[in-house]
Amino acid sequence: MLIDLTEMITPMGAKSQCILPDGTKVWLNAGSRLTYKKSFNEKERVVNLTGEAFFQVKTNKEKPFIVQTSKLSVKALGTTFNVKAYAEDKQVTATLVEGIILVEGKGADSKSFSVKLKPRQSITLKESEIIDKQKLTEQKSPENSKSIEIAPSVEVQEVINTVKYTSWKDSLWQIEAENLEDLAIMISRRFNVKIYNESAGLKDYRFTGTIRNETLEQVLNILRYTTPLKYKVGKGEVWWTLDSRLKEDYSKVLKSKH
């Protein structure tokens, strides 16, 4: 039986915003897809997401709002949260700004989990092959925020600044301690370009800053001034690599600060 669906697609290099039939506001990031049944809000409120979206859910205690991704689902009554679930990424992350959400899914051991998040908390479900812990652990993150692994591959983190996870939807894009390998993916989606990372060592460098309405070239120049990055721009493509000379200068500056 065919199911009548409404589909929203945001292409690479773009962002979009819409209001669902129940009054919920949705912001879709680049390269994202949101679908829901035509009968949405009649008996239930369920949407399916591939990519990233920010939700400002209209309150309805009788009909929970549910976001389904390939790896987990998020249930809310009336709240504000972000879900990042790109098919090609190695993890899925839900970040709560206001209200309460219930996150359900399966960890690396295939056991089901159910976690209730409070404001300024984030949950991340990672691919099993990049997790080798098999017991509950507690550790400090680089931001001095508490991070707790509640199951293999499932981690809940206290978030000091949720803007880091949600600013993509605004004109002011705040980037905090993002390594260049992951930042390349974010930039490729935002500007609809393919970025070829030709140096594995770039993942050891992190960038923190604020991007307003800069062009791709301007963003790359900012990165070049703050990291040992060398790049070349083609038509819809960027090649970047580690500049050995800049790397030496960068290391000298870091040593002088210690």
What CATH fold (topology level) applies to the domain 171-256? Phage tail protein beta-alpha-beta fold (3.55.50)
Q: Where in the chain is the domain with CATH 2.60.120.1440?
A: 5-158
- Dihedral in degrees, nearest 10, Cα atoms 97, 100, 106, 107: 60
pLDDT at 201: 81
| Per-position pLDDT tens, the chain of length 258 | 456 899 999 999 999 999 999 999 999 999 999 999 999 999 999 999 999 999 999 999 999 999 999 999 999 988 999 999 999 898 899 999 999 999 998 876 677 889 999 999 999 998 754 333 333 333 334 444 555 555 558 899 999 889 989 999 988 889 998 988 889 999 999 999 999 988 888 888 899 999 888 999 999 999 988 888 899 999 999 999 988 777 666 665 555 555
**What is the model's pLDDT at position 135?**
33
What pLDDT sits at residue 62?
92
Cα–Cα distance for residue pair 220/130, rounded to 1 Å: 29
Q: Give CATH 3.55.50.30 domain extents, the chain.
A: 171-256
Q: Considering the entire predicted model, what is its pTM?
A: 0.84
For residues 81 and 74, is the Cβ–Cβ distance under 8 A?
A: yes
Helices 216-226/180-191 angle, 10° precision: 170
* Direct distance between the N- and C-terminal alpha carbons of the chain, in angstroms, rounded to an integer: 66
Say which CATH architecture domain 5-158 belongs to.
Sandwich (2.60)
- In sequence order, the β-bridge partners of residue 149 are 137, 155
Residue in this structure with the two tokens 């030709």, named with its chain if needed: 198
Confirm if 180 and 196 have CB atoms less than 8 A apart.
no
- Which pLDDT score is estimated for 203? 80
What confidence score (pLDDT) does residue 130 get?
A: 37
The closest of 219, 179, 175, 215 to 199, measured between CA atoms, is: 179
User: What is the helix (H) or strand (E) element at residue 217, kind and residue range?
Assistant: helix 216-226
- Least Cα distance to 46 among 65, 27, 71 occurs for 65
pLDDT at 226: 86
b/e burial code for range 58-80 (CB count within 10 A of at least 16 → b): beeeebbbbbbbeebbbbbbbbb
Pairing label, strands 16-19, 32-37: unpaired
- Secondary structure in 3-state letters for 129-191: HHCCCCCCEEEECCCCCEEEEEECCEEEEECCCCHHHHHHHCCCEEEEEEEHHHHHHHHHHHH
